[in-house]
Structure 1
Amino acid sequence: MKSIMLIHANAQLPVVIHEGTSNQVLIICHGFRGSKEGGGRAVALAEEVVKLGLSVVRFDFTPLGPLTQQIDELAAVAAFARREIASRLVLLGRSMGGSAALTYAAAQPEGISGLCLWAAPSNLEETFRLALQENYQRLLAGKTVHVTDSYGRSSLTPAFIQDFADYDLLQAARSLKGIPVLVLHGTQDETVPFAQAETLYQQLVGRKELVAVPGGDHQLHAFYRETTAAILKWIKSLQSSILEKRPKR
């Protein structure tokens, strides 16, 4: 495992690389107010995925950046991974990181072997009304709001939610015709209601799977074993599919 600082535009993106042996790399995109560590769970997941042969890249988005910025930063990390690690990408996006991964995959599908959407929204407006509560109304009113989290005290401007209008997540889902997708979601998610996962799943075409975690909330902290098992099973299925497609000698 090694750490680097990826310089992109005016941002410095902390990146951690877990080296595998295959020509695939899993890129993990954290959620809003999350981090590349994921409370230790992203690290543990990476270690399990490496056992399957894939390399893993974990990185931090610029804290509280709008979706446009997250997609741009993911593109920079993906370009780095293709250049330095492996040519085939598997994307795993949690919550808002799933929105970035979905949108990026729809725009740049070449070389993407799979996409896992973990507690990812299909409706950003509804999601952030629930996540920000009264602060969402302040943003709608044109006011800047302040958020305190593990990064410290940060600010959100109205531009953060105005940015949502530039993206149609359901249209992005409909365009993923050649990319296998795993939708992983807790049935008791109060930030991204499970109905959003069902809507997203319905819009997907091609190879797709919906794993509902009964009783699971947005974080799914209490369901680490179940979610890890589902992700590892799905990655193994991707590997089997790749082997089946290779020409026989």
Structure 2
Amino acid sequence: MEFILSLLRIVIAVAVIVLVGVFFFQEHLIFFPTKLSNDYQFKFKNPSEEKVVTIGNKEVHSLYFKAPNAPGVILYFHGNGGALDSWGDLASDFIDKTGWSIWMVDYPGYGKSTGSIRSEAQLHDMALAIFAEIKKLPAQKKVIIYGRSLGSGIAARLASESSVDGLILETPYYSGKELAKIMFPLAPTFLVRYKFPSNEWVKNVKSPVLVVHGTEDQVIPYEQGQRLFEEIKASKRFLKIEGGSHNDLPEYDEYWNGVKKFLDGL
């Protein structure tokens, strides 16, 4: 009996340590940045201009790809891994395939951006600061908010609080809590600090919305995108990529055809 009690104490102690670790070290479970040196030179097939926005004592780095005669600009929030050295190739594809300019952001601690991510609020403050800079662009026509994966929550809140012409959510989650149930099924949801309630934010979006999801997404299940789509009250479209997974949707013609059709209709 004493052995069983001792074993139970050990199991409880280990569980507490794990749960405490999940609560205090969530950033290491969610964010996987690539760091770039300050003198790193970006090289893409389309030219870009490096933009730096100072928030407090930290610098957020981003790239602005200006397309000739563009109908507007897409503010793009990327996924939870990498940095602009790899995401920038996708920005060039957007110019070539849609004709829109694109402004792509690196989060704190990603690429050349200084600091590190410490809270969800920090990411939303960053998004607002970048959005304010975009509104300063001369002769700007339309602004589209685009969020992919992790960035879908950032994009959803920004679009719910700002006047924009459209919102695109690629491989989005229903909410941070719902995604946590899948990724960490044994962890109580009250431990989740990055709640990202996209399901609530999208209800307040007034602009047209496009949701894009692959049926074979092994990271954020297809059903999460479907559920989020149902919460949208504004004009909306769902782009289903049959066989598409989490990271390969731009390899499908249906993806570019659907995105361009949505943008052309705005």
* Alignment TM-score > 0.5, same fold: yes
Q: Which runs of 5+ in 2 are unaligned?
A: 1-47, 110-115
Q: SS at the partner of 1:84? A: coil
**Structure 2 residue aligned with 1:125:** 177
Q: Which 4+ residue blocks in structure 1 deviate beyond 6 angstroms? A: none
- Structure 2 contact 199–228 (Cα < 8 Å) conserved: yes
Once the two structures are aligned, what percentage of the paired residues are identical? 20
For the pair 1:168 / 2:222, whether they are aligned, the reply is no
What residue number does 2:158 align with? 104
Q: SS at the partner of 2:234? A: coil
Q: Is the 8 A contact 1:174 1:205 kept in 2?
A: yes
Structure 1 residue runs without a partner (length 5+)? 143-157, 239-249
Normalising by structure 2, we get a TM-score of 0.69
Closer, same or farther: CA 69–225 of 1 in aligned 2, 3 Å = farther
The 3 A distance-change label for structure 1 pair 77 and 224 is: farther
Cα distance per residue 1:105-131 (max 9 Å; x no partner): 1122x2x00000001111212324545
After superposition, where does 1:128-207 map in structure 2 within 5 Å?
128-131=180-183, 133=184, 137=187, 161-164=192-195, 167-176=196-205, 178-207=206-235
Deviations 1:52-101 (A, max 9, x none): 2x321111011473432221111111100111352631011001101001
What residue identity is the alignment partner of 1:89?
V
- Select the residue among 85, 97, 101 that pairs with 1:55: 101
- For residues 84 and 262 of structure 2, the distance between their equivalents in structure 1, rounded to whole angstroms, comes to 21
In the alignment, the residues of structure 1 paired with residue 62 and residue 108 of structure 2 have an alpha-carbon distance, to the nearest angstrom, of 12
Residue 120 of structure 2 corresponds to 67
Change (3 A) 1:74 1:211: same
CA deviation after TM superposition for structure 1 residue 207, in Å: 1.1
- Which deviates further from its counterpart, 195-204 or 16-25? 16-25
Counterpart-to-counterpart distance in 1, 2:252 and 2:58: 31
Q: 1:47 to 1:37 in 2, by over 3 A?
A: farther
Could you say which structure has the larger radius of gyration? 2
Q: How many Å separate the matches in 2 of 1:55 and 1:42?
A: 12
Q: In 1, distance between residues paired with 2:189 and 2:74?
A: 39
Aligned residue in 2 for 1:244: none
RMSD, aligned CA: 2.7
Within a 5 Å distance, the mapping from 1:69-84 to structure 2 comes to 69-84=122-137
Partner of 2:174: helix, strand, or coil? coil
Instruction: Compute the displacement of 1:41 (Å).
Output: 4.4
Q: Is the strand fraction higher in 1 or 2?
A: 1
Given that 1:28 and 1:36 are in contact with CA atoms closer than 8 Å, whether structure 2 keeps it comes out as no
Q: Which amino acid aligns with 2:228?
A: L
Give the Cα–Cα distance (whole angstroms) in 2 for the partners of residues 162 and 122 of structure 1.
16
Distance 1:72 1:169 in 2: 16
> In structure 2, what is the equivalent of residue 228 of structure 1?
256
Matched, 1:13 2:60: yes
Change (3 A) 1:141 1:227: closer
**What amino acid is the match of 2:234?**
G
Counterpart CA distance in 1 for 2:161 and 2:49 is: 29
Q: When the two structures are superposed, what TM-score results if normalisation uses the length of structure 1?
A: 0.74
1:116 corresponds in structure 2 to 168
* Whole-angstrom distance in 1 between the partners of 2:129 and 2:141: 14
Is contact 2:120-2:193 (8 Å) kept? no
Deviation at 1:202, TM superposition (A): 0.9
3-state SS of 1:217 partner: coil
Mapped to 2, the partners of 1:87 and 1:141 lie a distance apart of 42
